[in-house]
Structure 1
Amino acid sequence: MKKREIYSDLRCAPPFIIRVDGRTFRNSLLRLGFEKPFDSRFAVSMGNTVEMLFKNSGLSPVFGYTFSDEVNLLFKDMPFDGRVEKLNSIVPSFLSSALILSLNLQEPLAFDSRIVPVCREQITEYLDWRQKEAWRNCINSYAFYTLVSKGSSEKEAAATLKNKRSSDVHELLFRHGINVSKVPAWQRKGILVHKKEYSIEGYNPLMQQNTSSIRTKVVQNWDIPLFASTEGKALINSLIGDS
């Protein structure tokens, strides 16, 4: 029967990105009374969920980039020997349970996931692509709920926005008194979770001298640069390292 386990030996090689998306989160969040288009409570929970993966899952991603209900995790090592079935089941199931705990929910939520093989030179390009999606999601969400608040049905609002360019949606919002470029940075550009080194001072009583050692902690950056910018590329390169 072991031979009937389809794809159980399918493997990927690092570096790779696991992209995780919420499944039908919209209806669940509406039932829970979260604000639209954005609710900081949900964003905090998403950031904390990614942080929990760093601290409690036994996995070691280089970083996690999240916006809306999406999480992107870069791996340079080989958890589970790169077994695709393991990665695509354990990562989204951990994040699902962590988010439920963070939100203190009494109903289930689920993520799905996919693996994206990349070479080192493609990592910033990939992040730039996802960050542009975060921007599109931001302006479209503000526009959709602005139209609904002005009396349009959800179907009418969706039809109005269909196939509109970002610049046109931006102008629509501006006419309604919303400058979307001034909304919080995490709504426009997403949140980056990663490890950061810091120095800790101590004293060695045997050698009778002050000592300094390096520790790491997991941090959430809620005001990240554009990944395509010089500052953004430098940040990602510093996290990826030389190898």
Structure 2
Amino acid sequence: MKFDELDSRMRVFETAHDHCVLPGLYIVARLDGRGFTRLTKEVHQFEAPFDTRFRDLMLETVEHLMNCGIDIIYGYTQSDEISLLFAHNETTFSRKLRKLNSVLAGEASAKFSVLLGALACFDCRISQLPNKEEVVNYFRWRNEDAHRNALNAHCYWCLRRDGKNATTATSMMKGLSVADKNELLFQHGINFNQLPNWHKRGVGIYWEEYEKQGFNPIKGEIVPASRRRIRRDLDLPMKDEYSKFIAELVSAES
């Protein structure tokens, strides 16, 4: 069998189940660290429940993903997860799901591993969202999840520092209301509302325009030039204000 014939024959098996995100749909990718609880608590022993070193590794990874050839207008990270909002008309890899998932997971795993100096792995899945409202709902969901996780994490580690083992600490938290959890923290000298906002809300990463002085060689004069750079926002709003923030970001891109 000649190569061209063999090539055509075998590629059918490789591409038979290719699926592409339809034009007009918004794309959001969510990446999660695989086995990061063991990686960060046992192998490398980052500070619990939040560690600025780990946060910065995640932020560096998000920025890498926003500069790896896919037009991403917003990145969001909390704990060991990353969410990425693509530009509405992004067509990289012809919007093929297998390519987007594999490339983003590979890029994130490689970048984080290099930064950490040890192997780390991310998985990736794509959400195909029909309109701006669902984009807002998606990021509101992850923002609310960050708040819930932060409250639970601080309570859990207060109990662990009291000498409770993992099973006991988890059991003691079952059935506690939000008010009960806040009271538990208060009894340990922690006012949840006064904790750093990035603990409770995650971190947003997006592009911003800025003006830079440039030189026009033709006219021989200094002229203003528009550039863009990535901004890290460690003070994201919550609830309806966060929804408004995301809605404005999506509208500005459309």
TM-score normalised by the chain length of structure 2: 0.87
**Equivalent residue for 1:9, pick from 15, 18, 41:** 18
Tell me the residue number matched to 2:121. Answer: 110
Tell me the residue number matched to 2:108. Answer: 95
CA distance in 1, matches of 2:122, 2:115: 15
Tell me the residue number matched to 1:24. Answer: 35
Distance 1:212 1:239, change over 3 A: farther
Tell me the residue number matched to 1:53. Answer: 65
Q: Does 1:161 align with 2:190?
A: no
CA distance in 1, matches of 2:114, 2:163: 36
SS state at 2:72 partner: coil
Q: Deviation digits for residues 9-35 of structure 1, max 9, x if unmatched?
A: 211133111011111101111221211
Distance 1:159 1:219, change over 3 A: same
Q: Does 1:125 align with 2:134?
A: no
Compare CA radii of gyration and give the structure with the larger one: 2
Say if 1:196 and 1:218, in contact at 8 Å, map to a contact too. Answer: yes
CA distance in 2, matches of 1:113, 1:49: 14
CA distance in 1, matches of 2:239, 2:148: 15
Q: Which residues of structure 2 form unaligned runs of 5+?
A: 1-9
Spell out the pairing of 1:172-183 with structure 2 (5 A cutoff): 172-183=184-195
Say if 1:100 and 1:109, in contact at 8 Å, map to a contact too. Answer: yes
SS state at 2:107 partner: helix
Per-residue deviation, 1:174? 1.5
TM-score normalised by the chain length of structure 1: 0.91
CA distance in 1, matches of 2:15, 2:171: 42
CA distance in 2, matches of 1:41, 1:142: 18
Q: Which amino acid aligns with 2:20?
A: R
SS state at 1:199 partner: strand
Q: Does 1:64 align with 2:64?
A: no
Count of residue correspondences: 239
Say if 1:63 and 1:239, in contact at 8 Å, map to a contact too. Answer: no
Q: Which amino acid aligns with 1:2?
A: R
Please, what is the CA RMSD of the aligned residues? 1.9
Q: Which residues of structure 1 form unaligned runs of 5+?
A: none
CA distance in 2, matches of 1:81, 1:241: 24
Per-residue deviation, 1:166? 2.7
**Equivalent residue for 1:85, pick from 78, 81, 98:** 98
